[in-house]
Amino acid sequence: MLRIILFLVLIALSALGASWIADQTGTIVLSWDVWRIETTLPVFALGLGLLVVASLLVWSAVRGLWQAPTRLRRARRARRTARGRDAITRGLLAIGHGDATAARNHARVARRLVSQDPLALLLHAQAAQLDGDADRAQRVFRTMAERADTRLLGLRGLFIEAQRAGDPAAAVAIAEEALKTSPSSIWASQAALGFRCARGDWAGALAILDRNAASGRIDKALYRRQRGVLLTARALELETSDRDLSRQTVMEAVKFAPTLVPAVVLASKYLSEANQMRRAMRMIETAWLAQPHPDLADAYAHVMPGDSALQRLARVEKLSEKAPGHPESAMAIARAALDASEFARARDALEPLIAAPTQRVAMLMAEIEHSEHGDSGRARAWTLRAVRALHDPVWTADGYVSDHWRPVSPVTGRVDAFQWQTPLAALPSSRPPLVEADVSDQIAEETPRVEALPAASPGGESKAQDDAMSPADVEAASFGTIPMPDETAAAPISHTEEDKPGAIPDVIPIVRAPDDPGVDDSPQNDEFAEDDSAAARQAGGLRGLLSRRGN
């Protein structure tokens, strides 16, 4: 609106000026040598205006001819840039849907047209990564790292390539260099933190975490949780070398992460040794309310050394009341009742879980059958059922499971990655739970009660056991040494000479045990009878190991 008003005012002033000039009288005379021009003022003003317009036109034409080569070069450069940007766009889209050939062709065009464009370098590097050409990708990322505008991006690319090549020393060096270039870089900070944790440099990891919190890169709640995790890892490492420092560290860890299970278990152990039982019990109860865990139940049961099995059972029942209906509460009561020889109480606790038992529930039922009635048949039936049962929750992170808690993920280096949950690989059985129960009961009914399983001779022939074996010999022969289901579900953990108590164990992937299809009674399957008897002995060993651990 303002522009319209100004335009109308300008027109009005122009018209006023033109009418004023037209009303003027008199003549204007211009004399130059022999030239003499005499005219009126309106005509002179009109001629002067035309002369100015003509001069401007001539100047524009001369200037246009003079700058024509520059404009042509700029237009050609703009067309090349447009074509290069189009190639970059198409190349990035090709990388997005995994077309390596198209990405490589577009990267070649972009490199030829706009070689200095940062996006062209990025496209070239990602195309090389998609092709699997690590050397070419590293050369491009190194070029990007030498430029000021793409240095951080180049360092990140080199960091990823070092990780893919399995060179942790180069990766951590690149992350440290990226931190010097940009202290606010989140990926570099997390990478350096993860590598320090992997090396057991808890002091360095805590320093990085404090720096991240001071710069505002992580919120206060996350900082407190991660600091508690790192302090717990440090306390576990110092448990066998410096117990006083370990105790101070874990007590500080509990202040930052009061629901972290490993921290609470270790802190309650130290408090119990210092005769601070009530404080230890309150600490465990707080963590139990957040997430029931078998380690918490075990620590709560043994918080007072010297108590009888019945006293431990009463204490565990009190703890279970804080999470009624939770499977861990039921299994904790059953475990304590078994230790106290209260078999009826153990059965009642596990009754809601029998319809769809997990491995731990099945093994507890096997122990109840063997300990209460000495029924080896039903005990073996429950043990075989445990092989096909659902997995119990384990410490898992990024697709890996561990038999102990770890502070960081071995895959991503993420702090506090391990969670107590059922692993994704633990798929449920294809048969309904009720069908499995019927099959197990049938096995228990049809299996004769024997005092010992036959041992296979090297030549494949079985030797009958003596009917007059002692109960200890019966248990030793019937329940051999075989890992429990949760241990057979994962590959064995390798230990080196440097392993020591309290050290963080290796992390192993979980492998689902296959379902047992059963044995056909047809004559053509007689040749597998020996293998089936060996499998039965191994299945019986699950129960034996659990019984010995319980004792």
Domain boundaries, the chain: 356-391+426-492+508-516+525-551
CA pair distance 501, 303, nearest whole angstrom: 21
Average pLDDT over residues 258-278: 94
440 closest CA partner among 378, 356, 532, 398: 378
How confident is residue 189, by pLDDT bands cut at 50, 70 and 90? confident
DSSP-based three-state secondary structure for 460: coil
Average pLDDT over residues 540-550: 45
- Residue 165: predicted pLDDT: 86
- Residue 22: predicted pLDDT: 79
- Separation in Å, CA 544 to CA 68, 417, 448, 539: 95, 34, 19, 9
- Residue 182: predicted pLDDT: 83
Average pLDDT over residues 141-168: 89
Q: Which residue did the predictor score with more confidence, 548 or 211?
A: 211
- Residue 330: predicted pLDDT: 94
pTM: 0.58
Q: Which residue did the predictor score with more confidence, 359 or 525?
A: 359
The amino acid that residue 95 corresponds to is: I
Sequence length of the chain is: 551
How confident is residue 457, by pLDDT bands cut at 50, 70 and 90? very low
413 CB burial (10 A radius; 0-12, 13-18, 19+)? buried
How confident is residue 163, by pLDDT bands cut at 50, 70 and 90? confident
CA pair distance 516, 537, nearest whole angstrom: 15
- Residue 426: predicted pLDDT: 55
pLDDT at 271 over 70: yes
- Residue 336: predicted pLDDT: 94
pLDDT at 106 over 50: yes
pLDDT at 19 over 90: no
| Ranges 49-53, 402-406, 478-482, 530-534: which has the least confidence | 478-482
How confident is residue 339, by pLDDT bands cut at 50, 70 and 90? very high
Show the tokens assigned to 352: 């809601």
Average pLDDT over residues 396-412: 87
Q: Which residue did the predictor score with more confidence, 406 or 482?
A: 406
Please work out, in degrees rounded to the nearest 5, the angle formed at the alpha carbon of residue 451 by the alpha carbons of 468 and 515: 160
70: how many CB neighbours lie within 10 A of its CB?
9
Please work out, in degrees rounded to the nearest 5, the angle formed at the alpha carbon of residue 381 by the alpha carbons of 380 and 382: 90
How confident is residue 547, by pLDDT bands cut at 50, 70 and 90? very low
How confident is residue 348, by pLDDT bands cut at 50, 70 and 90? very high
350: how many CB neighbours lie within 10 A of its CB?
22
Residue the block writes with tokens 């190991």 = 545
What is the average pLDDT value for the chain, to the nearest integer?
Answer: 78
pLDDT at 434 over 80: no
Query: Beta-strand (E) ranges in 494-550?
Result: none
CA pair distance 508, 492, nearest whole angstrom: 8
How confident is residue 329, by pLDDT bands cut at 50, 70 and 90? very high
pLDDT at 516 over 50: no
pLDDT digits (tens, 9 = 90+) for 300-323: 999 998 889 999 999 999 999 999
CA pair distance 319, 310, nearest whole angstrom: 14
Average pLDDT over residues 168-178: 86
Helices (H), 291-432: 294-301, 309-320, 327-339, 343-350, 359-373, 376-388
pLDDT digits (tens, 9 = 90+) for 215-257: 787 889 999 999 999 999 999 999 999 999 999 999 999 999 9
214 CB burial (10 A radius; 0-12, 13-18, 19+)? exposed
Left (φ > 0), alpha (ψ -120 to 50) or beta: where does 341 sit?
Answer: left
- Residue 183: predicted pLDDT: 77
DSSP state of 450: -
How confident is residue 353, by pLDDT bands cut at 50, 70 and 90? very high
- Separation in Å, CA 393 to CA 106, 269, 426, 510: 49, 23, 9, 12
H/E run at residue 45: helix 41-96
Return the axis-axis angle of helices 277-290 and 261-273, rounded to nearest 10°.
Answer: 170
- Residue 26: predicted pLDDT: 76
